[in-house]
Amino acid sequence: MPIHNEAKLGEIAKTVIMPGDPIRAKYIAEKFLDEYKLVNQVRGMYTFTGKYKGKEITVMASGMGMPSMGIYSYELYKFYNVENIIRIGSCGSYSEKLDILDIILVDNSYTDGNFAKSMSNVESHMVEASNILNNIIEKTALELNQKYVKGNIACTENFDQYVYDTNAFMNRLPKQYNLLGAEMESFALFYTAKYFKRNSACLLTVSDSVYRKRELSSQERENSMNNMINLALESAIKL
């Protein structure tokens, strides 16, 4: 049985929506789910299972960083037989074409870290999302008239705004991958899903940019996050 999750077998759905923040998991359950129940709160990683338009869905926090995402996604796939995980989160943009609050559907995740080597003794730094999930998300976005950008992302081991030299970090990233920005969890999710032969996807909202500086109101942030959450949930009910 898992070490970091107290939910009983049968209390976690086959499809999980996974924000990083436990408070956001609580917000999603309260605002979007019916008949929801708190099934896990070990280490404050709130996990709720409820129904969205009649479909059973679980919302669980992942925490921050690849190690945290690696632990929780591993346990979901291995011990709870979860089939699909859709990460939803925020990212910093490295592209002049992206504006604050744009939504990114991640195609491939690149890291210069050693998550894959630590987990399976394999030298791997690029891993793709599940085509099955991405295709469903793209079709759903079209139905909802929800704009998005599909592309590759960098998955870092440090919060990019806190690195010693941001320009040096950006220059180190492989230019051939056309990385749109950076976040901290997608590689671990995609690699773990691949390890278990399950499905994973990642939707990100641009929260800051090296090219655009502007203050966002709390209402702007909430509306944008709600658009991303809605896209994830509407996609989830098709699985």
Report residue 224's pLDDT band, with 50, 70 and 90 as the boundaries: confident
pLDDT tens-digit series, residues 88-134 = 999 989 898 999 999 999 999 999 999 999 999 999 999 999 999 99
pLDDT tens-digit series, residues 64-94 = 999 999 999 999 999 999 999 999 999 989 8
pLDDT tens-digit series, residues 122-177 = 999 999 999 999 999 999 999 999 999 999 999 999 887 787 787 788 788 899 99
Quickly tell me which residue has 């320009």 as its tokens. 167
Tokens of 181: 């920005």
208 classed as catalytic: yes
The CA distance from 115 to 109, in Å, is 12
The CA distance from 119 to 92, in Å, is 27
pLDDT above 80: residue 61: yes
What would be the CATH architecture of the domain defined by 15-236?
3-Layer(aba) Sandwich (3.40)
Tokens of 106: 């991640």
State the DSSP string of 125-165. Answer: -EEEPPHHHHHHHHHHHHHHT---EEEEEEE-SS-GGGSS-
- Give which of 175, 16, 230, 202 is closest to 91, Cα–Cα: 202
| Number of helices and strands in the chain (H, E) | 7, 10
pLDDT above 80: residue 33: yes
Residue 218: per-residue pLDDT: 66
Report residue 8's pLDDT band, with 50, 70 and 90 as the boundaries: very high
CB 22 within 8 A of CB 45: yes
Half-sphere exposure of 218 (CA within 13 A, CB side): 0
Tokens of 18: 């996974």
Catalytic residue among 34, 112, 160, 208: 208
Of 121-125, 186-190, 230-234, the poorest mean pLDDT is in: 121-125
Residue 216: per-residue pLDDT: 66
Residue 125: per-residue pLDDT: 96
**Phi, psi at residue 88, to the nearest 5°?**
-125, 135
The CA distance from 95 to 189, in Å, is 23
Q: Domains of the chain: which residue ranges?
A: 15-236
